[in-house]
Amino acid sequence: MKISVFGLGYVGVVTAGCLSDKGHEIIGVDVQSSKIESLNQGQSPIVEPELDLLIQKAHQHALLSATDDSEKAILNSDLSLICVGTPSNDAGGLDLRYVREVSSQIAEVLAQKSSTGVPHYLVYRSTMLPGSTQALVDEYFHELQERNSIEVFFLPEFLRESTAVADFKNPSLSVIGSRDGLPIPDAVSRIIESDSTTPSRVVNWNTAEMIKYACNAFHATKVTFANEMGRLGKHFKIDSRAVMDLLCQDDRLNLSPYYLRPGNPFGGSCLPKDLRALIDSSRRHGLSLPMSENLLISNQVHLDDLIRRIERSGEKEIILLGLSFKNNTDDLRESSMVEVAQFLLGRGYTLRIYDPHLNVARLVGSNKRVLESKMPHLAAVLIEDPRKAIGERGLIVAAQKNLSMGELKDMVTEKHRILDVNGWDELKDLSATYEGFCW
């Protein structure tokens, strides 16, 4: 396939080299003459293991050339990849001037090109915030899409410097975005073929844009967390490398999807208490752990957002499915639903709670103290009969899966609304209006 690659920086050159190695004919486009000259001489303009050999091989087989002539590149290719930089502006925001410039050039050329009945494929590879592809399509390619002259995709890159060629050939994650997450054409699928056994996921544009930022934020979080534990460990004469080695041995909780599910704020007897102790200890010893210190703050912000969504529903009758901090326990300590219930009662809402694991008469110790201090009248709103708890109308805040779908289908009506806090997808099948907390 004939492919034009706009932007011969790090991502563009690696992409051009690797695609040429698969037999594709590549035309690189850039405004810097030094990069163009290097590629046309069979030399890589960047330092990256294995890339020199790929560029030399492509040059020898006439599979790779470079130019500053955008029109020539577009007219002589079936697919265009935009790999130009998206630097930060002075305020820290994203500067899309180069992406916009190339998009404009491509739109102008395609508008004058005679229709062949086959659309030109445009693939954004530059890192952009969610909504960027849609905005660019609306601005530059709306009419071209209307006449089927172009199809647009977003292909996030996950290339690490010094291992980029290996990452391209065998990616740990492969994602491509189409307009509505619909299947991609065979021509486009050819550019994401790899040696990896991990299948490529096709999602919508916004999701494909978001995953790049989510990955990088997660990587930065892991590095920062390890460094904060390192500083704390050093102070206590602990080898924090050994601590991290032990942490990584747990692939059930630590290195797993277990806690990576957006939804309920964290709570319970351990996480909040131990975070406070850790932060207090670090402060008393003159250590600053900014990320750890802000975890409880972020958790409260998340809880506040949940309460605002309940308020915005406009419903005055609220049904909580689950009050304890998680399902299959009666532990009320630091439970986000206790905070929600306390807020709603204080604001005069009609509240009904269904939690089959709670028995007010059997609560003891810390659990009993939580009840006495925050919800002394729990018995009046804790309903044992699920049908009475669900009632005939109101907002159901589904914090736990403590009823079967069969039971809910028999009780929930069109007069109900549902706010799903923990990702219970089957709730969408009920007759009530459904909203996900983080989706």
Mean pLDDT in the chain?
Answer: 95
Does one domain contain both 198 and 302? no
Q: How far apart are the first and last CA of the chain?
A: 38
CB-CB contact of 411 with 383 (8 Å): no
At 74-117, the pLDDT tens digits run 999 999 999 999 999 999 999 999 999 999 999 999 999 877 78
CATH of the domain at 418: 3.40.50.720
CA-CA distance, 213 to 207, in Å (whole number)?
Answer: 10
pLDDT at 364: 73
CA-CA distance, 422 to 154, in Å (whole number)?
Answer: 29
CB-CB contact of 136 with 107 (8 Å): no
Copy the structure tokens of residue 303. Answer: 């809880």
For residue 402, give the H/E element and its range: none
Read off the amino acid at residue 306.
Answer: L
Of all residues in the chain, the percent with pLDDT exceeding 90 is 90
Task: Indicate whether 363 pLDDT > 80.
Answer: no
Does one domain contain both 15 and 161? yes
According to DSSP, the β-strands at 394-398 and 317-321 are: parallel
Query: Where do we find the tokens 């929930």?
Result: 412
Residue 32 CB-half CA count within 13 A: 10
At 308-346, the pLDDT tens digits run 999 999 999 999 999 999 998 888 889 999 999 999 999
Domain that holds residue 388: 298-436
Does one domain contain both 202 and 331? no
As a whole number, mean pLDDT of residues 372-381 equals: 81
Does one domain contain both 201 and 336? no
- Residue 120 forms part of a structural domain: yes
pLDDT at 323: 94
Does one domain contain both 203 and 305? no
Copy the structure tokens of residue 331. Answer: 């532990």
Does one domain contain both 191 and 310? no
At 133-153, the pLDDT tens digits run 999 999 999 999 999 999 999
Query: Where do we find the tokens 């914090």?
Result: 399
CB-CB contact of 317 with 391 (8 Å): yes
The total of structural domains in the chain comes to 2
| Residue 358 banded pLDDT, cuts 50, 70, 90 | confident
Which of 158, 182, 207 corresponds to the end of one domain?
Answer: 207
Of all residues in the chain, the percent with pLDDT exceeding 70 is 100
- Residue 276 forms part of a structural domain: no
CA-CA distance, 310 to 333, in Å (whole number)?
Answer: 22
CA-CA distance, 21 to 349, in Å (whole number)?
Answer: 65
Exposure string over 273-309, b if 16+ CB within 10 A, otherwise e? eebeebbeebeeeeeebeebeebbeebeebbeebeee
Q: DSSP string covering 4-60, please?
A: EEE--SHHHHHHHHHHHHTT-EEEEE-S-HHHHHHHHTT--SS--TTHHHHHHHHHH
pLDDT at 42: 97
pLDDT at 198: 80
CB-CB contact of 72 with 108 (8 Å): no
Residue 326 burial (CB count, 10 A): 17
- Residue 271 forms part of a structural domain: no
Read off the amino acid at residue 205.
Answer: W
- Residue 283 forms part of a structural domain: no
Task: Indicate whether 120 pLDDT > 90.
Answer: yes
Does one domain contain both 338 and 202? no
From start to end of 31-186, where are the E strands? 64-67, 79-82, 120-124, 150-154, 175-178
- Residue 279 forms part of a structural domain: no
- Residue 266 forms part of a structural domain: no
**CA 8 centroid distance within chain:** 27
> Residue 88 has what DSSP assignment?
B
* Residues catalogued as catalytic: 270
Strand partners, 65: 27
Query: Where do we find the tokens 């698969």?
Result: 22
Does one domain contain both 173 and 310? no
CB-CB contact of 333 with 364 (8 Å): no
